[in-house]
Amino acid sequence: MSIAKTYNPKEAEDKWYSYWMENGFFRSTPDEREPYTIVMPPPNVTGVLHMGHMLNNTIQDVLIRRARMQGKNACWVPGTDHASIATEAKVVNMLKEQGIDKKSLTREDFLKYAWEWKEKYGGIILKQLEKLGASCDWERTKFTMDPDLSEAVIDTFIRFYKEGYIYRGVRMVNWDPLGKTALSDEEVIRKEVNQKLYYIRYKIKDSDEYIIIATTRPETIMADAAVCINPNDERFTHLKGKTVIVPLVNREIPIIQDEYVDMEFGTGCLKVTPAHDLNDYELGQKHNLEIIDLLNDDGTLNENAQILVGEDRFIARKKIAKLLEEVDQIEKIEDYKSQVGFSERTDAAIEPKLSMQWWCKMEELSKPALQYVEDGTIKLIPEKFFASYKHWMENVKDWCISRQLWWGQRIPAWYNEKNEWVVAKTEEDARKEFEALGKTVSTIRQEDDVLDTWFSSGLWPMSVFDGVRNPENEDFKYYYPTNDLVTAPEILFFWIARMIIMGHDYTQLPPFKNVYLTGIVRDKLGRKMSKSLGNSPDPIELMEQYGTDGVRVGMLLSSPAGNDLMFDVSYCEQGRNFANKIWNAFRLVKGWETTDAPATEAQKTAAVWFENRFNQAVAEIDEHFANYRLSDALMATYKLIWDDFCAWYLELIKPAYQMPIEAEALETVKALFQKVLALAHPFMPFLTEELYHDEIFGERTAKDCIIVTEYPKVIPFDEQITKEFATVQQIISEVRNVRNSKGMSPKTALPLAINASDIDFKKHQESIIKLANISELTFVQEKVTGALSFLAGKSECYVQLAAENIDVEAEKERITKEIEYLKGFLISVDKKLSNERFVQNAKPEIIDNERNKKADAETKITILQESLSNLGL
RNA sequence: GGAGAAUUAGCUCAGCUGGUUCAGAGCAUCUGCCUUACAAGCAGAGGGUCACUGGUUCGAAUCCAGUAUUCUCCACCA
């Protein structure tokens, strides 16, 4: 036999992936079948895929493959996301490394580089997904900046604008001085940072007195508009109505009063800098203060600062502190920890900044989106995420949707020479708009504003089917709403909430029914896998090493929904071993010669049992899938194959060495083998397809592939068969144990007697028991003396050994121990039963159960005690 | 500061509405085996006061309260 001893994944993977593609098995077009749709969360084109993507897409592939096999019209739409700021930051960096400054480029030139980047990395990503075995409909591959998707984005902007959800206004925004763009609240990551708290003396005008103010940001003092105290603060009553002098620039500012100020914190005095702090801004509005913006877009000081103009804000901070020290206006400096916002993408410290931006009103829009999840129209899996979803939805603020970038969909606003503006899809429309408003326009222009990436990905489930531009098209009507969305909990607000909001606004429907939230892939130490830590294995390398199927199994084995996954390569090893196990089971069957004979009694019994066990497992697996417990579904499959199929069924029907197998038994095992493979296919697509096509299973037509073969259906099974067989398994196990404990070789045949007075297994199972290398099997009506005994169910079994092999003392001890345990057990049962309150309160079936336990234990004790006394003979 | 979750074997996790699936699984460990599909394997074995303290109950890993530890999300205190 020339078949390899271990499974070699490489060959099978390349072969079958292209075969599936060539035969269009991933393709989906609307037909009369029930659709099953998943849209892939589009990975960013910022780089290559990491383990989190791999897990995510493996889950999606398992779901889609299973649905496909179940006869549904399975459609998995792949794609990538342009990831506006993230990609632009990467491209800018890449250019910088080549010595090119973004500023030196025109918009068009820059976009050319960006598109090149997208082609390169988008391509790598799609290749990685192929390697993973992802069975998506590649002909539907979309990119969030494809012309049709971009048009959908622009249409939506205009729609929302007309509906009154989008407006333009000057607000405090999160400004990223590195990306030089505004950010939404969600794109700001707060981190605790060690800072200094500077206590600065402000001189009170016409007085020798100073007032001391604590701040972490001395570089902003030149923009101070007031000093604020709490009106209830008695320490400062005498200062009411006075003014103070801002140090260094000697500007006079008022002392105002507001209860906002916390008397306990710092010195109880607050400097108010409306241009550079959200709270100060609000205070400034309230008290009508001057707004002095002293920062440029890139975080350097502008001429409003008067001093240190052009200096970076962090350098300026130190220098200001020094200057203040020189004029003796620093009281003290303390170490201080506080939360500072950082840009999610560029990691620059965020600057609160007043800026004209586009905003999306969220309050109205978010209501139906909350409703869907609240009433179960959309199910979050696991449910625990509902609480934070609800909280976010109920407290959502307006969404800043404009970004000062080039890479993205341009905001369709047009400006005339007077800076008046209209919203319109094209320049032509814009001119008409202006005309209609009676405004002159000679030159018309757009600004460098693009839309937040999440504005476009929010449309994803609709736009991939062209449902925004053309809601009546066949694809959209057929595939939408989609079924399952598989993604990370981190983007619950970024993405999921916005898809629901936008989907509802367009269609009055939820965009999907179930949201499966996967965990974060962490390393063994519990750290999130990241490039910077270098603790993330390269997924491609892993697949090379363990096989794609092995890696898929490895990832799924340890990832219950919503829980983080402590990833370790040992899981992949387990996956590889499992693939190998199936491979070798196949080798065994393939190696059998046949003889034209009917199956033996034992083979028939084993087959009946396994088929029943199989059906039982299918039901369990189905249940697990219904609850999105994929790791449990996989484990059930794993155990069915490894324990039941290989360790029991195949061992039981196996002919003696180099003997042929009965043809009938072989046919049965082949049929069952194929069913088992079908069950495993969603998890291990390549191995199962490879084996499915082996000649031992007969000729296959070109389209007869496991990927589209029928997935095992849930059919009734007989629990009694499983139970009876369990007794047989126990007997075989015990006999092995006897050999093991006596140091005998498995080849030693032993005689076995079973006390059939209380037989709870069928006689036809005799044939199975004999397979445990039993020299003589007898059924007796009474005790057998001078033998090792054990209980299987309620039947006592005896293995007759030569006297020297029986250690009477050890046997006595063993049996005594068992009796003691049973007696203790009996006492606890008796205690319950003699407790009046128990008998009164417990449900009747519970009481019955206790009575049965009691009877059982008593019987066993009797049997064991007899054995004990027999030992003495 | 607020909210949520978790804590069960060495590791990763199951244990639904309290009572034989109640103390489980996989991996790892240990002991035998290179037995003729597979040492990436086979046959066995050991291993847990169910974080802690109370409460409810005839009965608690399971329900309640508190404590401790850990994690996640949200939040503008200078």
Query: What b/e sequence results for A53-80 when a residue is b if at least 16 CB atoms lie within 10 Å of its CB, and e otherwise?
Result: bbbbbbbbbbbbbbbbbeebbbbbbbbb
Residue A569: CA atoms inside 13 Å, Cβ hemisphere, count?
12
Q: What pLDDT digit, counting tens, does each position of A651-668 carry?
A: 999 998 888 999 999 999
Nearest residue (CA) to C1' of B26: A635
Quick check: helix, strand or coil at residue A38? strand
Nucleotide with C1' nearest the A570 CA: B27
For chain A, give the mean pLDDT.
90
- Cα separations in angstroms, A442 against A84, A410, A427: 31, 21, 12
Nucleotide with C1' nearest the A573 CA: B40
- CB atoms inside a 10 Å sphere around CB A118: 21
Closest CA to A203 of A251, A161, A240, A164: A251
Query: Average pLDDT in the A745-765 region?
Result: 73
Q: Is the pLDDT of residue A222 over 90?
A: yes
Q: What is the ipTM of this complex?
A: 0.95
Q: Give residue A2's pLDDT.
A: 65
Going by the annotation, the residues of the binding site of A for ATP are 531
Nucleotide with C1' nearest the A840 CA: B58
The two beta strands, A210-215 and A181-183, are: unpaired
Going by the annotation, the residues of the binding site of A are 531
Interatomic CA–C1' length for residue A620 and nucleotide B64, angstroms: 33
Q: Give residue A75's pLDDT.
A: 98
Residue A333 tokens read as 């400096």
Quick check: helix, strand or coil at residue A181? strand
- Residue pair A594/A662 in contact (Cβ under 8 Å)? The answer is yes
Interatomic CA–C1' length for residue A490 and nucleotide B69, angstroms: 25
Closest CA to A65 of A708, A713, A556, A631: A708
Q: Residue ranges of the alpha helices (H) in A375-522?
A: 386-395, 427-436, 453-457, 460-463, 474-479, 498-507
Nucleotide with C1' nearest the A269 CA: B78
Nucleotide with C1' nearest the A396 CA: B74
Q: Give residue A436's pLDDT.
A: 95
Q: Is the pLDDT of residue A488 over 70?
A: yes
Q: Give residue A359's pLDDT.
A: 95
Q: Give residue A92's pLDDT.
A: 94
Share of chain A above pLDDT 70, in %: 97
Query: Average pLDDT in the A62-78 region?
Result: 98
Interatomic CA–C1' length for residue A858 and nucleotide B59, angstroms: 23
Phi, psi of A832 (to 5 degrees): -60, -50
CA trace torsion A257, A263, A267, A269 (10° rounding): -10
- CA torsion sign, A420 to A423 to A425 to A431? negative
Nearest residue (CA) to C1' of B32: A740
Closest CA to A793 of A819, A768, A738, A756: A756
* A120-129: long-range pairs with CB below 8 Å, 24+: A121/A45, A121/A46, A121/A47, A121/A48, A122/A45, A122/A80, A124/A48, A125/A43, A125/A45, A125/A48, A125/A49, A125/A80, A126/A78, A126/A80, A128/A48, A128/A49, A128/A53, A128/A539, A128/A540, A129/A49, A129/A57, A129/A78
Q: How far apart are CA A259 and CA A257, in angstroms?
A: 7
Interatomic CA–C1' length for residue A831 and nucleotide B60, angstroms: 18
Interatomic CA–C1' length for residue A93 and nucleotide B10, angstroms: 46
Say which range, A649-653, A771-775, A807-811, has the weakest mean pLDDT: A807-811
Q: Give residue A760's pLDDT.
A: 54
Closest CA to A719 of A624, A635, A619: A619
| Strand order from edge to edge, sheet including A750-755 | A774-780, A750-755, A795-799, A788-792
Q: What pLDDT digit, counting tens, does each position of A527-551 carry?
A: 777 766 777 788 999 999 999 999 9
Q: What pLDDT digit, counting tens, does each position of A353-397 carry?
A: 999 999 999 999 999 999 999 899 999 988 888 888 988 998 888
Q: Give residue A756's pLDDT.
A: 67
Nearest residue (CA) to C1' of B2: A391
Question: Is the pLDDT higher at A204 or at A775?
Answer: A204
Q: Give residue A673's pLDDT.
A: 98
- Residue pair A481/A511 in contact (Cβ under 8 Å)? The answer is yes
Q: A144 pLDDT band (50/70/90 cuts)? A: very high
Question: Is the pLDDT higher at A707 or at A190?
Answer: A707
Share of chain A above pLDDT 90, in %: 66
The two beta strands, A73-77 and A35-39, are: parallel
Q: How far apart are CA A826 and CA A829, in angstroms?
A: 5
Interatomic CA–C1' length for residue A259 and nucleotide B66, angstroms: 36
Interatomic CA–C1' length for residue A533 and nucleotide B71, angstroms: 20
- Residue pair A43/A53 in contact (Cβ under 8 Å)? The answer is yes
Q: Is the pLDDT of residue A873 over 70?
A: no
Question: Is the pLDDT higher at A485 or at A837?
Answer: A485
Nucleotide with C1' nearest the A838 CA: B58
Nearest residue (CA) to C1' of B38: A584
Q: What pLDDT digit, counting tens, does each position of A658-697 carry?
A: 889 999 999 999 999 999 999 999 999 999 999 999 999 9
Q: Give residue A434's pLDDT.
A: 96
Q: Is the pLDDT of residue A225 over 60?
A: yes
- Residue pair A47/A367 in contact (Cβ under 8 Å)? The answer is no
Residue A427 tokens read as 């320049």
Phi, psi of A296 (to 5 degrees): -80, 170
Q: A314 pLDDT band (50/70/90 cuts)? A: very high
Say which range, A80-94, A312-326, A831-845, has the weakest mean pLDDT: A831-845
Closest CA to A801 of A756, A864, A742, A747: A742
Say which range, A554-563, A614-623, A718-727, has the weakest mean pLDDT: A554-563
Q: Give residue A872's pLDDT.
A: 62
Q: Is the pLDDT of residue A790 over 90?
A: no
Q: What pLDDT digit, counting tens, does each position of A573-611 carry?
A: 999 999 999 999 999 999 999 999 899 989 999 999 999
Q: How far apart are CA A525 and CA A505, in angstroms?
A: 44
Q: What pLDDT digit, counting tens, does each position of A387-416 carry?
A: 889 889 988 889 999 999 999 999 999 999
Question: Is the pLDDT higher at A743 or at A644?
Answer: A644
- Strand B footprint nucleotides (protein C-beta < 7 Å): 3-5, 11-14, 19-20, 25-28, 32, 35-45, 57-59, 71-78
Q: A865 pLDDT band (50/70/90 cuts)? A: confident
Q: Give residue A561's pLDDT.
A: 65
Interatomic CA–C1' length for residue A570 and nucleotide B28, angstroms: 10
Q: Is the pLDDT of residue A205 over 60?
A: yes
